[in-house]
RNA sequence: GCCGGUGUAGCUCAGCGGUAGAGCAACUGAUUCGUAAUCAGUAGGUCGUCGGUUCAAGUCCGACCAUCGGCUCCA
């Protein structure tokens, strides 16, 4: 068994020292560094002062630090543009160079109110009303101050004018509520040293290099077509090939884990969504209904009602439980214009959805099985570091106390038995049941929530699901929803960014590309292609007629794991000269050796070919 | 949906009132070549869409669509 499938404990927290490919500079997060916190806090004040100097009509609101910098929200009659950032930045440098002191002053509520009123800053007044004593403000030089709890640097001389940058302007709502005034937010980043700033920018570049939208075009994996509409994904042959491999692996793992697979319709009579309750609490995320004959149909935003109907299609016995049904179900959800994002946020996507119907005393065992399967599937894509969250009963919820307690205890016990660290989000569960969410960490330290396990006391109730218990009575089963990838599209995007497009051998859409050096060897290349294809290896011959250097360049740009150079020497000896994307030139091997190792790699879902010792062929 | 940016050939971009340009890719020809770009030629765009201003609009204005960075929301 390959090492990557061994069980590994989940890490309880995100690591900020994430592997930043080739870098040794540590970038502390704000929450890890008192000095950075001061710097960023003060930077936002400096920025606000600069903005008010350049835009006197701009009113200040709030300006907190973030993990990599800071922002400040303004209410300004004139819109800020990216070009304005340059001027603001220059003004900030001027302020920094004046080495202005930042002084903490504790004031009475009345004095704070008087000072704010003198400046006509209505947002500050609102903030004041919401805070408790002691009320503090920080001055910045003689003319500027802001209501703030601190802490700050002693004077702006402690701020490094070479270690900050203003990054973007964005809209934001006062207090985060879209019913409130629209404010303008300026984001900045600030560090102790110019080197840290450079490293931060290098990481941003790295994220850009890994962007799945970029790679989707470059590697010809998928596209989103204007003509068809936003948020609808077209899987190109290469992307579709990968998706099929992912799905095949997923199906295999599910059958092995005791699941059966379902196929259910994409639309259904709208009454189904009335029964399920989605029409009441989910309709704003649903596509509108469509009229068919005398009935109204609804495109599905979720698969669960279909699985529930399948359950209810006949009488169930307690002996049948647990029932585990999974489906790669494509759902459509209405997303507001402006929120779509590559594969990460779309309007049509496929969930790897499953529902487990079980007895109350089976909860723990079923959750544990799901955790095991989740780990097996995620680690196959090299996601081995998790952050787990358990969400408990919210105030507004349905169901009996005893059921909630039993279910929550079941989730806790499963996590304990799995040995996974987790945090508890008290009251963060859905109204219909507690849940476990799992985030995965990618190669550059970002966390992504994909998997979710939710208990549901609502749907079995609404659809009056039953089973016949041992004593002949009718009982209600427990229902568990779970998804591991969450959305196949989104997972594909995350995975693409995680690998930066350098997919492991088993997953690569094109595994081996044969590069004929001259026209004379094309027939041999074709013959070899036949052998590779017959052995289930995804291969092609590059017939562009370019010179070898170009063929290799093109192959490398397409991130093909194995390039096989075929010249006269190779054709004579039935061999290939292999070049691996990961390990470079591997030297010559008999064709049979390539076949054998590629087949083995596919079978083992290996990241790369493993070849026996180099064989010298030819002259 | 909201704020700001962007939309010119398949891709990356230049042109910013006066009859559309480059590099790469594609195609054709020559070259038959040994580990990240051989040379030459050809073709390709109603400049996102619709409307307006103007003698004249990729170029100015408006609306819409898409997209990028955010907000809100979320798989």
- pLDDT tens, A523-544? 999 999 999 999 999 999 999 9
Across all strands, nucleotide nearest A348 (CA–C1'): B75
ipTM comes to 0.94
A216 CA to B35 C1', in Å? 27
A172 CA to B72 C1', in Å? 9
pLDDT number for residue A361: 94
Cα–Cα distances (Å) from A571 to A352, A482, A523, A531, in that order, read 46, 53, 9, 14
Exposed e or buried b per residue across A519-547, where buried means at least 16 C-beta atoms within 10 angstroms of its C-beta: eebbebbeebbeebeeeebbbbbbeeeee
What distance in Å separates the CA atoms of residue A74 and residue A51, rounded to the nearest whole number? 9
SS (H, E, C) A235-269: ECHHHHHHHHHHHHHHHHHHHHCCCEECCCCCEEE
Q: Which residue is nearest to nucleotide B10 (CA to C1')?
A: A217
Give the residue from A297, A430, A451 showing the smallest Cα distance to A386: A451
Positive or negative, the CA dihedral A103, A105, A111, A112 is: positive
Q: Which residues of A have a catalytic role annotated?
A: 304, 333, 351, 353, 355, 435, 481
For A35-71, what is each residue's pLDDT tens digit?
899 999 999 999 999 999 999 889 999 989 888 899 9
pLDDT number for residue A24: 65
Q: Which residue is nearest to nucleotide B1 (CA to C1')?
A: A336
pLDDT number for residue A490: 97
A516 CA to B28 C1', in Å? 21
Across all strands, nucleotide nearest A559 (CA–C1'): B36
Exposed e or buried b per residue across A300-313, where buried means at least 16 C-beta atoms within 10 angstroms of its C-beta: bbbbbbbbbbebee
Domains of chain A: 30-208 (3.30.980.10), 216-264+303-499 (3.30.930.10), 505-604 (3.40.50.800)
Looking only at Cα atoms, what is the longest distance across chain A? 94
Residues of chain A with pLDDT under 50: 1-22, 617-619
Instruction: Tell me phi and psi for residue A427, to 5 degrees.
Output: 80, 10
The alpha carbon of A462 is separated from its chain's Cα centroid by a whole number of angstroms, namely 33
A257 CA to B69 C1', in Å? 43
Residues A109 and A131 sit within 8 Å (Cβ to Cβ)? no
Across all strands, nucleotide nearest A567 (CA–C1'): B34
Across all strands, nucleotide nearest A584 (CA–C1'): B35
A515 CA to B44 C1', in Å? 29
Q: Return the SS3 of A610.
A: coil
Across all strands, nucleotide nearest A230 (CA–C1'): B66
Other Cβ atoms within 10 Å of A226 Cβ, number = 7
Q: Exposed, middle or buried: residue A175 (CB in 10 Å: 0-12, 13-18, 19+)?
A: middle
For strand B, give the nucleotides within 7 A of a protein CB.
1-5, 11-12, 25-27, 30-38, 65-75
A443 CA to B28 C1', in Å? 45
Across all strands, nucleotide nearest A173 (CA–C1'): B71
A380 CA to B47 C1', in Å? 47
Give the residue from A191, A197, A204 showing the smallest Cα distance to A33: A191
Residues A541 and A514 sit within 8 Å (Cβ to Cβ)? yes
Average pLDDT, chain A: 91
């Amino acid at each position: 068994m390959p090492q990557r499938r061994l069980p590994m404990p989940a890490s309880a927290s995100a690591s900020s020292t994430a592997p930043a490919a080739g870098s040794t500079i540590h970038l502390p997060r704000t929450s890890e560094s008192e000095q950075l916190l001061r710097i960023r806090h003060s930077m936002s004040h400096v920025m606000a002062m600069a903005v008010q100097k350049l835009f006197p009509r701009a009113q200040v609101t709030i300006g907190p630090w973030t993990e990599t910098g800071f922002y400040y929200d303004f209410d300004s009659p004139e819109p800020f543009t990216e070009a304005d950032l340059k001027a603001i930045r220059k003004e900030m440098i001027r302020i920094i160079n004046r080495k202005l002191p930042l002084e903490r002053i504790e004031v009475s509520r009345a004095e704070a109110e008087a000072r704010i009123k003198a400046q006509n800053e209505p947002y500050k007044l609102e903030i004041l009303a919401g805070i408790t004593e002691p009320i503090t403000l920080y001055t910045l030089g003689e003319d500027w101050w802001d209501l703030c709890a601190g802490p700050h640097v002693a004077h702006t001389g402690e701020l490094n004018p070479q270690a900050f940058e203003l990054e973007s302007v964005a809209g934001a709502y006062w207090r985060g509520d879209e019913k409130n005034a629209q404010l303008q937010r300026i984001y900045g980043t600030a560090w102790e040293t110019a080197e840290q700033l450079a490293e931060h920018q290098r990481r941003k570049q790295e994220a850009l290099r890994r962007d799945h939208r970029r790679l989707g075009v470059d590697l010809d994996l998928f596209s989103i077509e204007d003509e068809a509409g936003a948020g609808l994904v077209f899987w190109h042959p290469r992307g579709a090939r990968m998706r099929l491999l992912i799905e095949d692996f997923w199906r295999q793992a599910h059958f092995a884990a005791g699941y059966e697979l379902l196929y259910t319709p994409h639309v259904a009579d709208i009454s189904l969504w009335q029964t399920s309750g989605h029409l009441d609490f989910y309709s704003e995320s649903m596509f509108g209904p469509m009229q068919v004959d005398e009935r109204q149909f609804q495109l599905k935003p979720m698969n669960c009602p279909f699985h529930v109907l399948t359950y209810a299609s006949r009488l169930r016995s307690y002996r049948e439980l647990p029932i585990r049904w999974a489906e790669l179900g494509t759902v459509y959800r209405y997303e507001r214009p402006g929120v779509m994002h590559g594969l990460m946020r779309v309007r049509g996507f496929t969930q790897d959805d499953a529902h487990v119907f079980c007895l109350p005393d089976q909860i723990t065992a079923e959750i544990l099985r799901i955790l095991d399967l989740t780990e097996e599937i995620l680690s196959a894509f090299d996601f081995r570091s998790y952050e787990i969250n358990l969400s408990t009963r919210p105030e507004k919820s349905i169901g009996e106390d005893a059921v909630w307690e039993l279910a929550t205890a079941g989730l806790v016990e499963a996590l304990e038995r799995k040995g996974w660290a987790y945090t508890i989000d008290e009251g963060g569960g859905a109204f219909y049941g507690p849940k476990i969410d799992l985030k995965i960490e990618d190669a550059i330290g970002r966390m992504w929530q994909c998997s979710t396990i939710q208990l549901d006391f609502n749907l079995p109730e609404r659809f009056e699901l039953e089973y016949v218990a041992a004593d002949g009575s009718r009982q209600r089963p427990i229902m568990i929803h779970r998804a591991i990838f969450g959305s196949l599209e989104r997972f594909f995007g995350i995975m693409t960014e995680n690998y930066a497009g350098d997919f492991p051998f088993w997953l690569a859409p094109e595994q081996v590309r044969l590069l004929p050096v001259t026209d004379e060897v094309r027939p041999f290349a074709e013959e070899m292609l036949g052998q590779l294809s017959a052995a289930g290896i995804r291969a092609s011959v590059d017939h562009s007629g370019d010179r070898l250097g170009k063929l290799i360049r093109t192959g490398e740009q397409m991130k093909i794991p194995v390039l096989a150079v075929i010249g006269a020497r190779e054709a004579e000896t039935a061999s290939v000269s292999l070049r691996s994307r990961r390990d470079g030139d591997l030297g010559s091997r008999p064709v049979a050796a390539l076949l054998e190792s590629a087949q083995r790699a596919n079978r083992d879902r290996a990241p790369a070919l493993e070849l026996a010792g180099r064989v010298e062929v030819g002259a």
